[in-house]
Structure 1
């Protein structure tokens, strides 16, 4: 199994409304909101909040097959909209599902004999970058295989993995966000673009004037590991990590998602304890987890329901997945991954 180089980051951007009257999304659609599109053979699920037990809203769907794998692979992120659950990791759920390409093809043929109108992939869709996502151009199939020879799940493992999920439950009462396509650009390409950057630079200048220091002085070097050190110069609020966050996204403040499996996350505030101690092992195989993607502050204002304004608040939501992407061949259930939530210490900068 191979993954993109650690310095190879893909940036997710809003790429237009996903109107259900015009487009039909599928498990290969990268999108915000709407209802989840499960892989064929995967049981429909309605996850519930680990804090209050309320049904969760579907926030993001990402189609992310791994390099060197013949399996389709999806990540679905859900969140609780209740104010009392805001900012708590237990109010978020990240569910990973996989299926071999042959099984998906057979299921699709049997259940969808007349696919009238597939949702068109935007020019910047994740799946368009064949080299980026391990996809053959124009085919929509992954090139290689995930590990399917991992340890089988015991009844206890299955029970634990399904805790808090309501299978085949009615969608009535489940909050639904307005749906958007997610397009993608390589972060390295943003450095050579001048479009839509005036506002980003103005925000940065306002921040520097207010804090009395240049953001560049507070930014650590891009190299190094988890022990990276920051410059001694500190902003008045003392948060050098947030300053680095602002500097990093200043080239594209409208980014809603960052994807870099095996890479380094971009924290919005300083960690209270060692990250390795905070990361639990995979609940299915007991193996380690690796960073895969994170949601960004610009997404908050886009999460709207038809009957009310945005109800979800966060700074960034980081998702860590099983390093081996363990999977039981033929399984119809999902594997739960780890969400780590950081609230925004200066939300007004993104409004």
Structure 2
């Protein structure tokens, strides 16, 4: 409660996301989880995005599941259940500066009364038979053994496992399936050895509380004013100094705002404002496309660079990387039945001379 917050602290309206261990059953679809890594816990059990919808626009390989956020909207019956999914490419070369073409975002939502889940909240205990939803959904949709996306290609030898693409079939054949083909028991037992997906953790949330002096900084959008002279050279120098000062202030704001909770991996504030880490490559309104329904898109949440530490993607030669990933969604959260609706993502990287 707000009354219990020390006077030196104040809630900002932002919800922070952190990673925690969880039991596997707690991250299944019926528990409506928010999570990072592993395979998607699909909300709607039909009309899932398939290739080429979930392939990298740069290298045309299938994307891998990064995270999902359960974010129902109060007062909207059509989005009583609502989950946002983020996918990314695992090819480091695709991560060029401020380029978001190696990411995709999808939104799924359902009414409280639907054909997949109980009208009542799920019990807070392990189900007697959790099933195997990472292989086949209740609707009969088969999933890729490697990534958990719709699998339309089956192994021609055993016909027991399916894949979303030839690329993922080849990876799994080399990694595991060559030794286990035609041995169903071995295939099931080795599920935990799938090293292709990111490490799986639950996303837990809590309100952001900042010291008042930090909150004032984080709320400030002021910039230093520069008095220009008529001398062209001096104006150019001052312009460069102004840009550097402005970028430094934005970066300082970023560092100050995350200093009290350095392990945050996500910031959620629908219709709020992102926490930018640079004054460069900040989108103007026209650069955030409208939803196909015609509604504007609004900021909903952002993924922080701290998540990269958990993903274990560092390599000596190259690595996937970002400064922050900012997700914009349909203001109306439009109803497209059980379809997964594409949303918009903006990638902003650190300035070249900045480090976190």
TM range (shorter): 0.5 to 0.7
Q: How does 1:87-166 map to 2 (within 5 A)?
A: 87-104=98-115, 115-116=127-128
Q: Does 1:294 align with 2:306?
A: no
Distance 2:287 2:318 in 1: 29
Displacement of 1:273? 6.3
Change (3 A) 1:332 1:107: farther
1:37 aligned partner: 41
Root mean square deviation of aligned Cα: 3.6
SS in 2 for 1:60: strand
Distance 2:242 2:259 in 1: 17
1:74 aligned partner: 83
Distance 1:72 1:309 in 2: 42
Match of 2:72 among 43, 65, 72: 65
Distance 1:24 1:256 in 2: 18
1:222 aligned partner: 219
Instruction: Tell me if structure 2 keeps the 8 A contact 1:33–1:180.
Output: yes
Change (3 A) 1:265 1:43: same
Instruction: Tell me if structure 1 keeps the 8 A contact 2:323–2:350.
Output: yes
Displacement of 1:69? 2.5
Displacement of 1:277? 2.0
How many residue pairs are counted as aligned between the two chains? 260
Which structure: larger Rg? 2
Distance 1:31 1:42 in 2: 20
1:259 aligned partner: 268
2:311 aligned partner: 303
Change (3 A) 1:108 1:39: farther
Unaligned runs of at least 5 residues, structure 2? 1-10, 121-125, 131-148, 153-162, 172-195, 227-240
Change (3 A) 1:338 1:347: farther
Change (3 A) 1:14 1:348: farther
Distance 2:218 2:20 in 1: 32
Instruction: Tell me if structure 2 keeps the 8 A contact 1:301–1:310.
Output: no
1:26 aligned partner: 29
Q: TM-score under structure 2 normalisation?
A: 0.63
Q: TM-score under structure 1 normalisation?
A: 0.64
Unaligned runs of at least 5 residues, structure 1? 1-5, 119-165, 193-214
Distance 1:309 1:260 in 2: 36
